[in-house]
Structure formats: C-alpha cells, structure tokens
Amino acid sequence: MKIGVLALQGAFIEHEKKLIECGADIFEIRQRRDIEHSFDGMILPGGESTVMGKLLLELDLMQPIRERILNGMPVMGTCAGLILLAERIAEDNTVHLGTMGMTVRRNAYGRQLGSFHTAAQFEGIGRIPMTFIRAPYIESVTSAEALAEIDGRIVAARDRNQLALAFHPELDESAAVHEYFLNMQ
C-alpha cells in the first residue's frame, strides 16, 4: 500500500514513521508532479492550516487533491489537516479543500489550554491516548459522523473516505489510528 504524505510544512515526518511501522510504503508530496501517479491514500499533517492552504494554492495542488478526495481516495487529516478538509470554519470565510461535512473551530481550546494530553474512547478502536497542540475541534457535523468526543466536543470524525482528527496520533505510542486509516482502503 502506498500513502502520500503532504510534506509542505508541519509534523509530517512522525506520520511517515507511523505508516512505515504499520507496513505501508510512503512518499512525500511537495509539488504537483508528486501526485501525478497512482497511490492508495494521503495524509494531511498538523502544522498551520493558513500556511498550508496558501502553499497548496501556490503549488497548484489544491484542485487535484480535492478531485482525488471527491473520487474516493482515502485521506486522513490531523489538526491543521482537519481544518483543510472542513467544509466550514467557524467565524472564518476561508475554505481550503472543503470536502468534509463538518464545521471546525480553530485554536478552539484557547491560548492557555492550547496543548494537553488525555485519553478517550475512539469508535471502532477503543480507548487511545490523544495529544492536542493548539487544536481545533469539530463544532458540528453534516455528512460526517463523530468518532470521538472529549467533554462533549467532537475531536474525531469520518465522512466516507475521509478521516479527521483534532489530535496528533502520530505523536503517541499507539499506531491504532494509522492502522484504522490503512483499513479504510
């Protein structure tokens, strides 16, 4: 199985390590020609969604990635990657890929509580560790289905071939979320 990892900015190396640990082949997506061959899925890592969105447009990657997602390519977005996928960002007119039926709120835990570590139930996996870094949360879902919640706030959701997480599964010991994603193929 061959997974492309968006490697423009942010925490992509940790995702690569997890995927390799799970037995997948990986390659980095840095420019348009990197996506012009066949592969089985894609990761949109954490980082800064504004910067990543701008680079996706500048590099002419936004439209081809959106098309692949709409054609059913499995995609996993973590943190900033979740923001890229959302069809709506609360109190913000920006839409990046906009393929996933949910509204997200950026930097939703405030500056002081911006980063924390906890554990919670993840539908289909069980209880797993979750690390949040200046995280967004999912305020509401339309076509997406919630998979995990913390204090009544959705932190993971799935919309058919799309998986979005407010936390960073690549930073914890468990590889369960990456395995879940690889099984979405």
Mark whether 22 is an active-site residue: no
At residue 132, φ and ψ (nearest 5 deg) are: -110, 135
Among 133, 147, 156, 164, binds ligand GLN (CB under 6 A): 133
Residue 118 makes CB contacts below 8 A (sequence gap 6+) with 129, 130, 132, 150
- 104 touching ligand GLN, by CB under 6 A: no
Residue among 15, 96, 168, 178 flagged as catalytic: 168
Among 34, 40, 48, 92, binds ligand GLN (CB under 6 A): 48
Among 31, 63, 94, 107, binds ligand GLN (CB under 6 A): 107
Closest C-alpha among 90, 82, 96 to residue 162: 82
Q: How far is the CB of 44 from ligand GLN (least distance, A)?
A: 10
Q: How far is the CB of 85 from ligand GLN (least distance, A)?
A: 12
- 54 touching ligand GLN, by CB under 6 A: no
| Dihedral angle computed from the Cα positions of residues 113, 118, 121 and 127, in that order, rounded to the nearest 10 degrees | 170
Do the beta carbons of residue 62 and residue 97 sit within 8 Å?
A: yes
Which range in 15-23, 42-50, 144-152, 175-183 contacts ligand GLN by CB under 6 A? 42-50
Residue among 79, 87, 96, 178 flagged as catalytic: 79
- 123 touching ligand GLN, by CB under 6 A: no
Extract the runs of DSSP E, i.e. beta strands, from the chain.
2-6, 25-29, 41-44, 75-78, 86-89, 100-105, 115-122, 126-133, 137-141, 145-150, 153-159, 162-165
Query: Binding residues for ligand GLN, per CB under 6 A?
Result: 46-49, 79-80, 83, 106-107, 133-134
Active site residues: 79, 168, 170
